[in-house]
Amino acid sequence: MTFKTLDDLGNLSGRRALVRVDLNVPMDGNRVTDTTRIDRVLPTIRELSDKGARVVLLAHFGRPKGAVMPEMSLAPVAAALTERLGRPVAFAADCIGDLAASLIDGLKDGDVALLENTRFHAGEEKNDGAFADALAALGDLYVNDAFSAAHRAHASTEGLARRLPAYAGRTMQAELEALASALTTPVRPVLAVVGGAKVSSKIDLLENLVKKVDMLVIGGGMANTFLAAKGVSVGKSLCEHDLADTARRIMDAATAAGCEIVLPVDAVVAREFKAGAASETVSVDAVPADAMILDVGAASIDNVRAKIDAAATLVWNGPLGAFEIEPFDTATVAAARHAAERTRAGSLTTVAGGGDTVAALNHAGVADDFSYVSTAGGAFLEWLEGKALPGVVALEN
Ligand X SMILES: Nc1ncnc2c1ncn2[C@@H]1O[C@H](COP(=O)(O)OP(=O)(O)O)[C@@H](O)[C@H]1O
Ligand Y SMILES: O=C(OP(=O)(O)O)[C@H](O)COP(=O)(O)O
Binding site for ligand X (CB under 6 A): 195-197, 220-221, 238, 293-294, 317-319, 321-324, 354-357, 377
**356 sits near ligand Y (criterion: CB under 6 A):** no
By CB under 6 A, name the one of 103, 216, 223, 376 that touches ligand Y. Answer: 376
Between 22 and 158, CB nearer to ligand Y: 22
- Least CB distance from residue 118 to ligand X, whole Å? 24
357 is in an annotated binding site: yes
29 is in an annotated binding site: no
Residue 296 phi, psi (nearest 5): -85, 155
Cα-trace Rg, the chain: 23
28 is in an annotated binding site: no
Between 327 and 378, CB nearer to ligand Y: 378
Q: Give the whole-angstrom CA distance, residue 271 versus residue 266.
A: 16
4 is in an annotated binding site: no
**In the range 3-42, which residues lie near ligand Y by CB under 6 A?**
22, 24
378 a catalytic residue: yes
Which of 97, 129, 355, 365 is an active site residue? 355
72 and 95 in contact (C-beta within 8 Å)?
no
Which of 46, 84, 162, 198 is an active site residue? 198
140 is in an annotated binding site: no
Please list, in sequence order, all residues whose beta carbon lies within 8 angstroms of the beta carbon of residue 314, skipping any fewer than 6 positions away.
190, 191, 192, 193, 308, 339, 348, 349, 350, 351
369 and 395 in contact (C-beta within 8 Å)?
no
By CB under 6 A, name the one of 7, 11, 14, 63 that touches ligand Y. Answer: 63
Q: Give the whole-angstrom CA distance, residue 316 versus residue 338.
A: 13
20 a catalytic residue: no
The amino acid at residue 99 is: L
Between 64 and 354, CB nearer to ligand X: 354
37 a catalytic residue: yes
**CB-count burial class (<10 Å; 0-12, 13-18, 19+) for 133:** middle
198 a catalytic residue: yes
Question: Residues forming the annotated binding site for substrate?
Answer: 22-24, 37, 60-63, 119, 152
Q: Contact residues for ligand Y (CB under 6 A)?
A: 22, 24, 63, 148-149, 152, 355, 376-378
Catalytic residue IDs: 37, 198, 355, 378
